[in-house]
């Protein structure tokens, strides 16, 4: 009778140890970072004539989201060609800072969209393209979007830019 009880207690003890050790043996799945609320991403490229007049060259309108792990971002934007000579494009840099009058950054993306349909409505009133992407970069402190468009100022082809910097709160 005692050996039956010992076997029962021993089995219970071994089973308890096995259940306690299971989380240590099974590999943990990586935690998925949550996305913060979308923030607006809006930029208008303005060109200037020799007389000081303004030309609307291109526009970017959409949203940006950062993950709470501080290692990824995603954007969903509408890019518009208004009166730009070349098709507007966008670059994405992280960890932008200035030292000694010089700009430093790490480029993590370039966007050369395929412009399709024509729109006569705001904000585009020109060729348009929708672009979405998710980018990763470990531990970035900020992200800068720069949009490029161009026109002729007199005889010179001139590139104008518009930029927006977003700071990573995580």
d(C-alpha 161, C-alpha 54), whole Å: 13
Q: Where are the domains of the chain?
A: 39-167
Quickly name the fold that domain 39-167 has. Answer: Immunoglobulin-like (2.60.40)
**pLDDT value, residue 32:** 55
pLDDT band of residue 3 (cuts 50, 70, 90) is low
**pLDDT value, residue 29:** 42
- Work out the angle at residue 66's Cα, subtended by the Cα atoms of residues 31 and 112, and round it to the nearest 5 degrees: 120
Average pLDDT estimate for 70-97: 95
- Eight-state DSSP code of residue 41: E
**pLDDT value, residue 17:** 47
d(C-alpha 128, C-alpha 108), whole Å: 23
Does the pLDDT of residue 125 top 70, yes or no?
yes
């Amino acid at each position: 009778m005692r050996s039956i009880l010992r076997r029962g207690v021993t089995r219970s003890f071994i089973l308890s140890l096995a259940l306690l050790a299971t989380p240590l043996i099974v590999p943990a799945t990586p935690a998925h970072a949550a996305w913060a609320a979308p923030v607006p991403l809006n930029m208008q490229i303005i060109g200037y004539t020799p007389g000081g007049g303004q030309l609307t060259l291109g526009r970017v309108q959409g949203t940006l989201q950062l993950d709470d792990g501080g290692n990824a971002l995603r954007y969903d934007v509408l890019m518009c060609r208004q009166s730009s000579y070349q098709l507007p494009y966008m670059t994405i840099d992280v960890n932008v800072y200035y030292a000694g009058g010089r700009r430093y950054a790490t480029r993590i993306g370039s966007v050369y969209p395929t412009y399709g349909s024509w729109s006569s409505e705001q904000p585009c009133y020109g060729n348009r393209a929708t672009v979405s992407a998710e980018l990763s970069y470990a531990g970035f402190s900020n992200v800068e979007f720069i949009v490029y468009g161009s026109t002729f100022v007199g005889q010179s082809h001139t590139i104008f830019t518009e930029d927006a910097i977003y700071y990573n709160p995580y």
